[in-house]
Structure 1
């Protein structure tokens, strides 16, 4: 009889670290760019209420013989109900039999693998001696984004900003305790400008429809990772940063051109071109097909909208380790 493994957040945390998640994302990006994965553009059903969406993200990795789908929703009103704003479930399948082998807490997987997307970018594209980080946005994604930065580089300070003063200060206080083992100073700032000044790594985790940074203040050699905006009307990265960037890397060029307003709008305006600026995927850096950072003066942008293969590879790694360590609940 088939046994299906049920894994909650607590189970996953017992077998899977942020550094593991970064390696999983790197493998996922490489599989995607090498055409070892089948990843359809996600389906967005939307809802009758503005600002809500229900997303279905399938993926299959040939070399791992695994497949799966993440069902993830964005319901801002959930915050008032004490529920996750971005609830999700990941269903993992055995691609040799077509059977479902595991159901996992996709809300936690989404946070950790999306944080790891920035972590992978920092690992591959940030300056080796990066010391100062900036995080714009203190929502549900923020803790994982901040931990990924610290896991990928030995940062001495991370500055945090969001529009709500009380929220950003509480976030900085709480996360300083949670991530104390990394040894970085984490402080709230009064403005986005203060946060990004002299920052080597800038992570944007917002769904803002207007830019949240001033590209004129981005220092030479900085890495900007934009992981928050995922729809054509969202523009967290400003056009000055786009224009100043030496290189722009994507998780999936196809998906970014379909979904990311930060890139779609400047492309339509002629600020960048698809041929010259939007032909680089992070997976090709992982495999060594193209170079990442080539000098400490380059401003580099990484734009991610998320691809289903991240969830599949992450889920497979979690599943394998859970089986090995006998973690989780079996359901026959």
Structure 2
């Protein structure tokens, strides 16, 4: 503790949920994620999740000091069961040189943006460089954001989409046929969406935590993007599909291998998940060669504070440029020690 502190030269900015929505920009987010994951891995910079839980209230904190960029910080996810489940998200960003508070960001929409951006960067490392038949399972926010993001790194020839509700998959097909300029066909089963697809996007949460896709639907050389199994209790891919995979690229190997229900179930079935799983970082750095045309290749994500921080920094930069956000009338003291 010090009695002497310095007030910030630049007052911090607060970005509301509406600000984040107006600023959300997939190309900027993808560029930020790609830059972050092409730096050498350092587990001390990204220690994983920290949990506090009273059973009534809970908090998950995801800190990161990225190698890239000018800022560091943490995202906190804060929940209360006092009146059903209510959750809020807050990202705090600090200057690497001065430790001054630079921004507070409503993180409600950041998770979806950074997840889609990271999936695009991950998929780009393992998909064939040719026009692809794409199968989308799901039609909600994650399916839409991921389809948009993947279209920025892949060449789509045809998209098939399945969602349990016909009106939802029809609306998805109409929207993306117009925005992508390729045929987008609603189909009446997940099997129909996956069969014959070069790239399969799994973006529909299982209602009973059973896999949303079956191994026999997947071609011998398909690429799969799996984002829906981020906790030990969630399932998206069956163990026999993971057993067929030649490569699993993970945004964080330890959390994917030990924290995803898919990988936990695969290990319990005797599958050597450690032997086929590599980090996105190692692939981007060229340390792990990838055969883009042969074998089933899977990108699996559980998310990380690194992704939240670098994407939030990109949004803060855009906010400063465009004059968006609320500049706070005060900052916090930075004390010299």
Which band: TM-score by shorter chain? 0.7 to 0.9
RMSD: 2.9
Deviations 1:163-203 (A, max 9, x none): 33343334444x437xx332133333211100111111111
How has the CA–CA distance of structure 1 residues 305 and 288 changed in structure 2, closer, same or farther, with 3 Å as cutoff? same
1:52-91 equivalent positions in 2, closer than 5 A: 54-72=59-77, 87-91=88-92
Normalised to the residue count of structure 2, the TM-score between the two structures is 0.84
Aligned twin of 1:303: 300
The answer for the alignment partner of 2:28 in structure 1 is: 20
What does residue 248 of structure 1 align with?
A: 248
- Report how far residue 255 of structure 1 moved: 1.1
- Say how many residue pairs are matched: 319
Contact 2:36–2:68 (8 Å) recurs in 1: no
Q: Give the match for residue 4 of structure 2.
A: none
Structure 1 CA distance, aligned partners of 2:244 and 2:199?
15
- State the alpha-carbon separation in 2 of the partners of residues 210 and 136 from structure 1: 14
Q: Does the CA contact (< 8 Å) of 2:50 and 2:61 recur in 1?
A: yes
The answer to whether the 8 Å contact 1:118/1:145 transfers is: yes
Matched, 1:326 2:327: no
Structure 1 unmatched ranges of 5 or more: none
Task: Encode CA deviations 1:34-62: one digit per residue, 9 max, x unaligned.
Answer: 2186122213446748xx97532111124
Q: Provide closer, same or farther for how the CA distance between residues 231 and 53 of structure 1 changes in structure 2, counting only shifts above 3 A.
A: farther
| Counterpart contact for 2:257–2:273, Cα < 8 Å | no
| Paired residue secondary structure (2:314) | helix
SS at match of 2:255: helix
User: Residue 298 of structure 2 aligns to a residue in which SS?
Assistant: strand
Q: Write 1 or 2 for the structure with the bigger share of helix.
A: 1
Instruction: Please show how residues 1-332 of structure 1 align to structure 2 within 5 Å.
Output: 1-2=7-8, 3-12=11-20, 16-31=24-39, 34-35=41-42, 38-45=45-52, 48=55, 54-72=59-77, 87-173=88-174, 175-176=175-176, 180-208=178-206, 209-274=209-274, 276-278=275-277, 280-292=278-290, 294-332=291-329
Equivalent position SS for 1:61? coil
Please state how far the C-alpha of 1:207 moved relative to its aligned partner. Answer: 3.7
Determine which structure has more spread, i.e. the larger CA radius of gyration: 2
- Per the normalisation by structure 1, the TM-score is 0.85
Asked if 1 retains the 8 angstrom alpha-carbon contact of 2:199 and 2:222, the reply is yes
Q: Compute the displacement of 1:111 (Å).
A: 0.9
CA drift at 1:150:
1.2
CA distance in 1, matches of 2:30, 2:74: 20
Give unmatched runs, 5+ long, in structure 2: 1-6, 330-337
